[in-house]
Amino acid sequence: MIPSQRTFLLLGFGIGIAAFVATFFTQQLSLIVTGVFNLVLLTLVLFDGFRTRFHRVEISRYPLGKLSIARDNAVTLSVRSPAISVRIIVRDTYPPQFKASERELQANLSPNSAQELTYTVYPENRGEFKWGSIQVRQLGRWGLGWHQWQVAQPQKVKVYPDLVGLRSLTIRLTLQSTGNLRRPFRRFSMGTEFAELREYAIGDDPRTIDWKATARRAATSWHNPLQVRVLEAQREQTLIILLDRGRLMTARVKGLQRFDWGLNAALGLALAGLNRGDRVGVGVFDREVVAWTAPERGQHQLFHLLERLTPIQPVLLEPDYMGAVTKLTKQQTRRALVVLITDIVDLTASAELLAAMQRLTPRYLPFCVTLRDPQVDAIAHTPTGLISQTYERAVALDLLAQRQVAFAQLRQKGVLVLDAPADEISNQLVDRYLQLKARNQL
């Protein structure tokens, strides 16, 4: 039982009465009046809180689904009142690592009514977390005391990569496939796979005329239109994603580790590849390849990747790019688009990365994706007046310049390059992949 604000106001009123009695009567009488008043008030408070036990609200937490990292995830509590009006304060025991929109939830319920209380949690780390009990305070009918108790609601919940972003990407790709959304990429070349034969029409490329089919048509029919081959982009290609989980990927950018941004980008790219009919495989590496999922087609592959990759965390180890590439070439002998998601510091530190990506050419189509820190960009492009800030800007400019030199060398070796802020990498990577598919570059 916890005294309410009304109880403290009544205690203040009792002190005033005691002062009045002591002024106009005797001090002994004042003490007697004060004791009697406090005893009566305490009895009423205890009784008010005690009888609330028999009129408790019913409260429960809706089962929590899969939570998304770096997103506001809704948590809903269901409350049902007894046959009287009640006022309650609720505090849910969510994981302490999470940020919550509300620490306490308050509600006033009419008799025999139900209400849902909702708050959001914002996790910054993946993994499995525990929810505890729901702490409830209910004000007595006289408003003198709060009755407090706990409702056991233990629950384990997994925090996954950005599932909200994947759902949005699914809608976007579906709209593009059905033609309800104007495609942002025009086709830059003809397809590579035969689809059908049809009659020649004005504007068709003469190179698509099938002279053998035209001759066969002439032998069986007096009507002799030219026959053209309709080609469509090859769909069943192979996409391999290599995700670095080494030392540089442990740094936090915009509240998340680089590895989490890279994992979100890898899953978004995998979703786009599966949506376009490609076989998609993923490898995660540091000094060795710690997880390898062979290329497969179908929606089940995305679910498998989610469950396989979610528990993986970055480590303070230097990545072995050459070892990861060697593992890939042994597992994947046919030509494939190989996307390596990592980060680089300078030209010297990225020498092994350059050598590893060069090894992939020309058998594979290598694509190096790096996650830039927006804070470094901001420092490099902000004029400074203080000496300390000038030094910081000089270092940031030097880092960006060395990155550009490394990227230039990669491009000279035939490697595709994408360098984007970590918090924007997912959308830019998917867009770049769709461009590659439209150009039939693989």
Tell whether the model's pLDDT for residue 225 goes beyond 90: no
Q: How far apart are the first and last CA of the chain?
A: 71
Tell whether the model's pLDDT for residue 195 goes beyond 80: no
Question: Which pLDDT band holds residue 271 (cuts at 50, 70, 90)?
Answer: very high
Evaluated on CA atoms 37, 43, 45, 48, the torsion sign reads negative
Once rounded to an integer, what is the mean pLDDT over residues 38-49? Answer: 84
pLDDT for the residue 194: 58
pLDDT for the residue 189: 42
User: What is the percentage of the chain residues whose pLDDT exceeds 70?
Assistant: 92
Give the up-direction half-sphere exposure of residue 139: CA atoms within 13 A in the CB hemisphere: 17
Phi, psi of 168 (to 5 degrees): -65, -40
Tell whether the model's pLDDT for residue 180 goes beyond 80: no
What are the structure tokens assigned to 5, written together?
A: 């604000």
CA–CA separation, 394 and 399 (whole Å): 9
SS3 297: coil
Distance of CA 116 to the CA centre of its chain: 26
The DSSP secondary-structure symbol of 404 reads H
Phi, psi of 98 (to 5 degrees): -90, 150
Evaluated on CA atoms 171, 179, 276, 417, the torsion sign reads negative
Once rounded to an integer, what is the mean pLDDT over residues 193-199? Answer: 67
Question: Which pLDDT band holds residue 100 (cuts at 50, 70, 90)?
Answer: very high
What are the structure tokens assigned to 234, written together?
A: 């090859």
**What superfamily in CATH does domain 55-161 come from?**
Immunoglobulins (2.60.40.10)
Give the up-direction half-sphere exposure of residue 14: CA atoms within 13 A in the CB hemisphere: 18
Once rounded to an integer, what is the mean pLDDT over residues 311-318? Answer: 95
| DSSP letter for each residue of 29-42 | HHHHHHHHHHHHHH
- The 10s digit of each residue's pLDDT in 126-177 is 999 999 999 999 998 888 888 999 999 999 999 999 999 999 999 998 887 7
Cβ-Cβ contacts under 8 Å for 337 (sequence gap 6 or more):
237, 238, 239, 240, 364, 365, 367, 433, 436, 442
Tell whether the model's pLDDT for residue 204 goes beyond 80: no
Listed residue (117, 48, 56, 46) closest to 84, CA to CA: 56
pLDDT for the residue 184: 44
pLDDT for the residue 181: 44
What are the structure tokens assigned to 398, written together?
A: 């030097």
Distance of CA 248 to the CA centre of its chain: 20
Domain boundaries, the chain: 2-53, 55-161, 193-232, 238-439
Tell whether the model's pLDDT for residue 234 goes beyond 60: no
CA–CA separation, 221 and 244 (whole Å): 62
Evaluated on CA atoms 213, 214, 216, 220, the torsion sign reads positive
pLDDT for the residue 23: 79
CA–CA separation, 51 and 147 (whole Å): 9
- The 10s digit of each residue's pLDDT in 406-441 is 899 999 989 999 999 999 999 999 999 999 988 877
What are the structure tokens assigned to 108, written together?
A: 């006033």
Tell whether the model's pLDDT for residue 228 goes beyond 80: no
SS3 436: helix
Average pLDDT, the chain: 87
Q: Do domains 55-161 and 238-439 have the same CATH topology?
A: no
- The 10s digit of each residue's pLDDT in 330-340 is 999 899 999 99
**What superfamily in CATH does domain 238-439 come from?**
von Willebrand factor, type A domain (3.40.50.410)
pTM of the model: 0.80
Phi, psi of 61 (to 5 degrees): -105, 130
Question: Which pLDDT band holds residue 185 (cuts at 50, 70, 90)?
Answer: very low
Beta strand 86-92 pairing with 67-68: unpaired
Question: Which pLDDT band holds residue 186 (cuts at 50, 70, 90)?
Answer: very low
Least confident of 116-120, 386-390, 399-403: 386-390
CA–CA separation, 64 and 386 (whole Å): 50
Evaluated on CA atoms 342, 127, 92, 64, the torsion sign reads positive
Tell whether the model's pLDDT for residue 328 goes beyond 50: yes
pLDDT for the residue 24: 78
What single letter denotes the amino acid at residue 96? Answer: P
Tell whether the model's pLDDT for residue 29 goes beyond 70: yes
Least confident of 225-234, 294-303, 395-404: 225-234
pLDDT for the residue 217: 75
Tell whether the model's pLDDT for residue 183 goes beyond 60: no
Tell whether the model's pLDDT for residue 74 goes beyond 50: yes
CA–CA separation, 136 and 80 (whole Å): 13
Do 91 and 138 touch, CB atoms closer than 8 A?
no
What are the structure tokens assigned to 374, written together?
A: 């927006």
pLDDT for the residue 438: 81
What are the structure tokens assigned to 77, written together?
A: 């509590």
Once rounded to an integer, what is the mean pLDDT over residues 194-207? Answer: 71
